[in-house]
Amino acid sequence: MSQHKSMLPELLRVLNLQKIAKNKYTGQNLDIGSPQVYGGQVLSQSLVAAGNTVQRDHQLHSMHGYFVRRGDNGLPIDYEVETVRDGGSFCTRRVRAKQKDKVIFIVAASYQKPEKGFEHHSGMPNVSQPEMLSSFPEIFSKLADKFDIKPKGIFAEDSPIIFRPVTYYNPFNPGIQPAESHVWFRPNGSIDIDNKEFLKILISYASDFNLLLTSLLPHNVSMFTEPLFVASLDHAMWFHRDIEVDDWMLYSVKSPSASNGRGFCQGRIFSRDGRLLASVTQEGLIRKYNK
């Protein structure tokens, strides 16, 4: 783990939304160096807002969201929660995230009372363990000096989440690789929280990373080789099992297709002991800037 000061405490702070009225909340931003609000932040804050209106005996099991506009890191985000349905086993919420009264993100989230049933899941890929790997900040720091670039966000030592790629990745010389990636990740610091529902929020925050990067792998480009516009368009998650964040988790991602300036990605998140915790899908823009 990094010995540098981590932004994790600041992330936990911005995930603690302020209630301003019934089913209405507001939150601040954690600027991780991206030109707009990081998609994982507005996604996770929306789930915090929705969860605040749900009975504690219901657990988040799925969400489907759309990124409508770019978020401004300099402005707070307001969240409006609509109660779509409260049922015996399931309840549904819809959340609109706004800045200056304009919607920047919408999401529908479904919650279920826990119940016993059939159990199976796909196996975890056989990959190197995280202790054998270098983190993105470690990899990037060696390259950034050469190219005189200051590491930001997940490439920086103070990133709230630390990622360790299984396959070495040089963002300045990516080459042509299969549209598949595996990264281990965990919070960059200790989490003294036993609220399993809040742990899903942290996983949601991390889930927006590495998806669209994977869709670029077959094309010998990265954000550091030429001007690109990369932005999430939609994001869906299914939570299969309880989550613990006191150990590394594996994020296994494939990009089955890219076309029309969009990349489509599918991800699976596994616990260290091989349990499938969550599944993710996302489509986003991967567009070259016109010269």
User: Catalytic site residue 207?
Assistant: no
Structure token digits, residue 86 = 């409260």
Q: Cα torsion at 192, 198, 203, 205 (round to 10°)?
A: -100
Distances (CA, A) of 151 to 138, 141, 219: 10, 7, 23
Take residue 146 and report the two structure tokens written for it: 């050469």
Catalytic residue among 46, 159, 279, 282: 282
Give the Cβ contact number of residue 249 at 10 Å. 21
18 is catalytic: no
- Alpha helices, H only, 151-250: 196-207, 211-216
How far is the C-alpha of 123 from the C-alpha of 127, rounded, in Å? 12
Q: What are phi and psi of 15, to 5 degrees?
A: -80, -5
Q: How far is CA 268 from CA 99, 134, 157, 187, 271, in A?
A: 31, 21, 25, 18, 10
Q: Is 282 a known active-site residue?
A: yes
Catalytic residue chosen out of the listed positions 208, 215, 222, 271: 208
Q: Which position among 41, 46, 99, 232 bears the catalytic label?
A: 232
Which residues participate in catalysis according to the annotation?
208, 232, 282
